[in-house]
Chain A
Amino acid sequence: MNPRLSVVLLALSLAACGSSDPEGPRPTPDAGTSVPDAGTEDAGVPDAGSPDAGPVDSGTPDAGEPDAGPPLVIPNTLSGYGLFTGSPADGGLVPVEGNVPYTLSTALFSDYAVKSRTLYIPPGKTAHYEPMAALDLPVGTLITKTFAFPADLRKPDQDVRVIETRVLVHQPAGWEAWPYVWNTEQTEATLATGGRSRDVTFIDTDGESRSFKYSVPSKNQCQQCHHLLDDQGAQVMHPIGVKARYLHHNNTYGGVERDQLEYLASLGKLDGLPAPADLPKAPDAFDPQAADLTTRARTYLDINCAHCHNPKGTAGVTSQLFLDIGTTSMFSLGECKRPGSAGSGVGGEFDILPGNHAESILWYRMHTEESGKMMPQIGRTVHHAEGSQLIADWIDSLPAKTCK
């Protein structure tokens, strides 16, 4: 991702966290419940006095068991969560206190959409550090991701149109994903469980105008990426991005540069954090100063592909192609590996033909925009020029050999 693109929504979402507080009372999530009030659609104002959606969480420790309280009643509008004030129309979608904005050092590519992210962990609850997997987030956690397109990628903070906000909800029975689509006035996002299609036009970094149909995934489609197999072989939803290695870098909170993980810990929202020197760190895959080519390419594959292509993802199980950062076998990464069933015309015989990206299926699937051949399966209509170039460079850098 072009580093510049991450700026705009970050600016939007961090507005409240700058040194100047927003005007008037700052809404806060209802501290008496395990989740923000879901029962009202009160446009982000505190729900003082209105009844909560369910019994109040007593706040007592759960003795190691997940909170078996009632599930959050999913509101019909994004504002119903009480996670934000303002709207894109009035200059900023501002996270309320406790809804912590964060960025990823390398983000998953989604058609050049600019994204902003927030993490809300309910009062009295704490996430636990995980060295490799996503943070162990308590029931009641809400993760939001807002997708937007500037009119011109070269001016990423101007004429930004916000398309959708996805909310990952950690319910007592597990994670759920809910898509909200913004209205044309940019004043409210409404639940669109079945997903929606939106025409998007922008000018790319080369100055070319691009138009395509952007797909807001349906609730069920979210599972295609957000799943891992449990010990019984059942698909279980998980967050993707909130892994320590992608969070371990600085962000601005209250006008102060803070490491995101340490900031969460300082809020009491994260425990088990090791010493800074022991924290894993994924580099910005597009910053040549940040890491060597292999590390950057592996990081890109890790965040973009490994949620399916890992030993616990059904696509990974089927393909035996493992692209997670923990994979050490070059064969499992695709070198000289034939796909089980690649279909027709995907550029080559092997997932990776070392030294030759043009005949590597891995690169082909990333680069093509042809339906049925491109990867990932959903979430992409156009190809990521910078991403496929990175992978091309990496494959070309591998010592050439003849696979047979």
Chain B
Amino acid sequence: MPRLQWTRATSATLLALVGALSLTACSDDDDTTPDSGVKVDAGTTTDAGSDAGTTDAGSDAGSVDTGIPWDGGSAGTFSCEGKAQTTLNFAPGQEEAFQDQVNTLAECTTITLAPGTYTFDNAITIRKNGITLVGAGKGKKGEGTGGADSTVLVFTNAAANSNGLDVVGDRFTVSNLAVWNAKKDAIRVESSTDVVMRGVRTEWAEANKESNGKYGLYPVKSKYVLIEDCEAYNAADAGIYVGQTQYAVVRNSVAKQNVAGIEIENTKYAYVLGNTAQDNTTGLVVFDLPGNPIKGTDIRVKNNIITGNNRNNFASVQSSSSTVSQVPAGTGTFLLASRRVELTGNTWGNNNTVDVAVLSGLAIESDPAQWVAGGLNFASADISIHDNTFQGGSGDNVDNGNTSQSLRPLGAALAALYAYGETQGTLGVEHLLWDGLDPFGHDRAQLNPINICFANNTLPTGTTTAIVDLDLQAAATLAGQGNLPGAWAKTRHYAANKAEFNCSGFSPALTIGDFIQ
């Protein structure tokens, strides 16, 4: 893999950095910066004031809602117990009858789909509680037809703009089938409680197509969601996406060849366990979007493999406004506008841009007004990264060397900075990157005011620096003036055991996942 080569960035590129990073609006107006009232703390345990780098040992623990002890099972009020439960059986060739009956289902109906290929010209739209949809198996990656022990739902010639499965209903289960070439989202479940997706594959036939459907597994605005033993390939946004949801478990699943492998967005209480996210543009992401009224928090990411996510960002096109379309290729994990996140037992490596990035929401949307809906939820804080393995081979080819100032400005900025950094002996982006923006405008004497902990991780032999604080605001300003040495001087590079980052998490600890194997 080619290492970053230092090249003299043109002044035009450098000037573009400031604008691209969208920080000008916040840079010189103390009265209107988001600083006042939105210090990171906001109900979490971080103390943004005096005790930089140390947790405040529960002083405001009482204000943190750590959720309920959910065990991953049904937890909503709807139940099929004691109710009439019927089963409908369908085989290939009965698609029309299937569609008709789907629209007149009684609650608590189980639909079984015999092995084979089902071809649909429209979405399968379910609007009843207690529905179970079960096939004979999800088949293997690349299979657009069902076999003797697999059920494949094909939407290649379906109506424009339609999803594959489109569900609103409590206690919904889909299992043991594949959804192939959906026009929009493969499986969309919205505003539902108790959702299970198990042994499901969502796939689009062609890799790297911006016109592929956006999401594979897509529970949104829901509660108590379990995704396990699933696979998602070639989504033009996220293979596995959990959004605007409370209580979600994603485990033992595989996401490959998507723009984002696994995405947790504006979600409270999510447990991401034992998944494999490889060969995506970015492997596993946690973020809040601006303008969304739900404030994401309490996310545990454990025992996942997040390696080799170097796929060129095929959603990154002109006039794209999605968050993931702005992500540089080679990003293992990024946390953006996220709080109370624990990453433990994971493996990162061979991610060309960076293994883990902790970013402020202001890095993508600098206007605090856009974050009002979520209670000014742009700040990241309380991030604990411990007992993980960093294999190496990461951070040495930002955005695959294919940077774009207009489409993926953060990648372009990183590439320019580290191109200079290489002349100073820093050969790549460290394993943990923090943009240094939160809490916005903080005293730079505080090395870690938002309580990022980096402890007990296994690092490649010979690692010297493992953490970087970009001080993105100052660095970008200097870079914009053509002063790369000055910009580089603002960045701070720390060894893994830097005291200010060598902390033990946050308090109270997460509870999501405690009752889930």
Contact = CB atoms under 8 A, between A and B. Distances in A.
A294 interface: no
B123 interface: yes
Interface in A360-374: 361, 369-372, 374
A18 to B, nearest CB: 38
Given A345-B320, A349-B321, A338 B121 contact: no
A234 B386 CA distance: 42
Contacts of B323: 341
Contact of A371 (B126, B183, B292): B183
Contact of B214 (A218, A372, A374): A372
B290 to A, nearest CB: 7
A339 B166 CA distance: 22
Contacts of B127: 220, 223
Interface string A170-212: 0000000000000000000000111111000000000000000
B122 A215 contact: yes
A192 B96 CA distance: 9
A133 interface: no
Interface of A: 192-197, 213, 215, 217-221, 223-224, 235, 314, 318, 320, 338-349, 359, 361, 369-372, 374, 377-378, 380-381, 404
Contacts of B160: 369-371, 374, 381
A36 B210 CA distance: 51
Contact of B211 (A195, A318, A372, A380): A372
Given A215-B159, A220-B126, A338-B370, A372 B100 contact: no
A193 B96 CA distance: 9
A347 B319 contact: yes
Given A338-B370, A340-B289, A314 B191 contact: yes
A236 B93 CA distance: 34
A221 to B, nearest CB: 5
B237 interface: yes
B450 to A, nearest CB: 25
Given A197-B122, A220-B126, A320-B291, A345 B319 contact: yes
A193 B290 contact: no
Interface of B: 25, 96, 98-104, 121-123, 125-127, 157, 159-162, 166, 168, 183-184, 190-191, 210-211, 213-214, 221, 236-237, 289-292, 315-323, 325, 365, 367, 370, 373
22 contacts: A193-B100, A193-B103, A194-B96, A218-B122, A218-B125, A219-B103, A219-B104, A220-B103, A220-B126, A221-B123, A235-B191, A343-B320, A343-B322, A344-B210, A345-B317, A345-B319, A348-B319, A370-B211, A371-B162, A372-B161, A372-B183, A378-B159
B318 A345 contact: yes
A343 B237 contact: yes
A338 B102 contact: no
Contacts of A195: 99, 103, 122
A193 B125 CA distance: 11
Contacts of A340: 289-292
The 4 closest A-B pairs by CB, nearest first: A194-B99, A220-B125, A197-B121, A194-B100
A215 B104 contact: no
A342 B322 CA distance: 6
Contacts of B121: 197, 213, 215
A378 B321 contact: no
A136 B498 CA distance: 68
Contacts of A221: 122-123, 125, 166
Nearest to A340: B291
A345 B101 CA distance: 37
Contacts of B168: 235
Nearest to A382: B160
Contacts of B100: 192-194
Given A221-B123, A349-B321, 12 more contacts: A193-B100, A194-B103, A195-B99, A218-B103, A218-B122, A218-B123, A219-B103, A221-B125, A339-B321, A340-B290, A343-B320, A371-B184
A281 B469 CA distance: 60
Contacts of A224: 125
A381 B292 CA distance: 30
A220 B101 CA distance: 11
A314 B188 CA distance: 15
Contacts of A346: 319-321
A338 B369 CA distance: 11
Q: Which of B99, B157, B214, B323 has the most CB of A within 10 A?
A: B99
A340 B127 CA distance: 25
B191 A378 contact: no
B219 to A, nearest CB: 14
Nearest to A343: B322
Contacts of B184: 371-372
A359 B319 contact: yes
B102 A372 contact: no
Nearest to B367: A404
Nearest to A372: B184
Nearest to A374: B161
Contacts of A404: 25, 367
Nearest to B313: A344
Contacts of A197: 121-122, 159
A7 to B, nearest CB: 28
Given A194-B98, A340-B291, A340-B292, A371 B211 contact: yes
B253 to A, nearest CB: 22
A338 B213 CA distance: 22
A160 to B, nearest CB: 23
B319 A194 contact: no
B235 to A, nearest CB: 11
Contacts of A213: 121, 157, 159
A339 B322 CA distance: 9
A374 B168 CA distance: 22
A381 B160 CA distance: 6
Contacts of B99: 193-195, 218
B106 to A, nearest CB: 14
A299 B184 CA distance: 29
Contacts of A218: 99, 102-103, 122-123, 125
Given A192-B100, A374-B161, A343 B321 contact: yes
Contacts of A349: 319, 321
Contacts of B159: 197, 213, 215, 378, 381
A213 B183 CA distance: 14
A374 B161 CA distance: 7
Contacts of A318: 221
A194 B101 contact: yes
Contacts of A361: 321
